[in-house]
Amino acid sequence: MDDGQSQNTTSPIPEPIVKPVEVKKSFPILTVILVLFLILSLAGTGYLAYQNMQLTKQITQMKVTPIPTAYVSPNPISYTSPTPTSTADPTAGWKSYTWQGFSFKYPNDWDLNTRNSIGSIEELVVTPKNQPNDPGVTSLFVEVMTEDQNIKYNLNIDMNTNTQFEEWLNKPASNNTQERKFKLVNSKLGDLDAVQFVSQTLSGDPTEPSYNVNTWLNKDKVNYYFVLGPDKERVNQFLPIYNQILSTFKFTN
């Protein structure tokens, strides 16, 4: 072999170029789960804390009423209910008088007499004792007149019939005290409705001054009149007793 021949030369083998492999970053799923769990835990804890605070507040505001326990006395004491006291009857012990189918009571210090008023019509006169004569004795006059008798003797023509009586019952009390007749109030005679009114003279009348409180009942075409008069000052003085007398009125038949 020719030494001059060119010697086989071996070219160096180039090193392969190694490209770096790109490592794809994996999504941190575990981290996300842990974060979500932490958030939910905090939210749940906060909610429970809020609910606990509200419950504590409601309990604080509630008023718990203790249930009373019964107490049994070792020595029971008997209790007697007091007897109610009844109001004393102001007419107890008064005199009683029966006349014309009814009765009533009057005080022991009043005198009762009968007299004829017109024709054969009888009238009761019940008078408080020990009255001075000036300006005039005041009495309770009781009259029973049928509608026909009133017409016959021209008495009480405007206060006679049942129709007139019903009209007076239904009219209101009057505020005009300067009328010759004005209504005071509806009253009672026994269990029946009656009318209480004033009849009076007015200034300038030619007759003697007169002031009377009347209680009138019309029943079965019969008129019952209870008249207290004629002195105004004494009428007002005796008016409470007059009404007490009327409260004892009873029909006997």
Instruction: Provide the token pair at 246.
Output: 């009327």
Rounded CA gap, 144 and 156, in Å?
Answer: 12
Count of CB atoms within 10 A of residue 82's CB? 6
For tokens 């009533």, what's the residue? 104
C-alpha 181/C-alpha 197 separation (Å) is 7
* pTM for the whole structure: 0.66
Domains of the chain: total: 2
Residue 16 lies in a domain: no
The answer to whether residue 18 sits within a structural domain is: no
One digit per residue, pLDDT tens: the chain, 253 residues? 444 444 444 555 555 555 554 545 555 677 778 777 778 777 777 777 777 777 777 766 665 555 555 555 556 555 455 666 668 899 999 999 999 999 999 999 999 999 998 877 899 999 999 888 766 799 999 999 999 999 999 998 999 999 999 999 999 999 999 999 999 999 999 999 999 999 999 999 999 999 999 999 999 999 999 999 999 999 999 999 999 999 999 999 8
237 is a domain residue: yes
Structural element, H or E, at residue 225: strand 222-229
pLDDT at 93: 94
Domain-embedded: residue 3: no
pLDDT for 4 equals 44
Q: Using CA atoms, how far apart are residues 64 and 223, in angstroms rounded to an integer?
A: 71
Q: What integer pLDDT is reported at residue 11 of this predicted model?
A: 54
74 part of a folded domain: no
Contact 185, 193 (CB under 8 A): no
Residues 52 and 171 in one domain: no
Order across the sheet with 139-146: list the strands.
110-116, 122-128, 139-146, 222-229, 211-219, 192-200, 181-189
- pLDDT computed for residue 184 by the predictor: 97
Give me the domain span that covers residue 119: 95-251
pLDDT of residue 8: 47
Domain end: 12, 43, 58, which one? 58
Task: Look at residue 198 and tell me if it is in a domain.
Answer: yes
Residue 143 lies in a domain: yes
CA 186 to chain centre: 22
Are 125 and 234 members of one domain?
A: yes
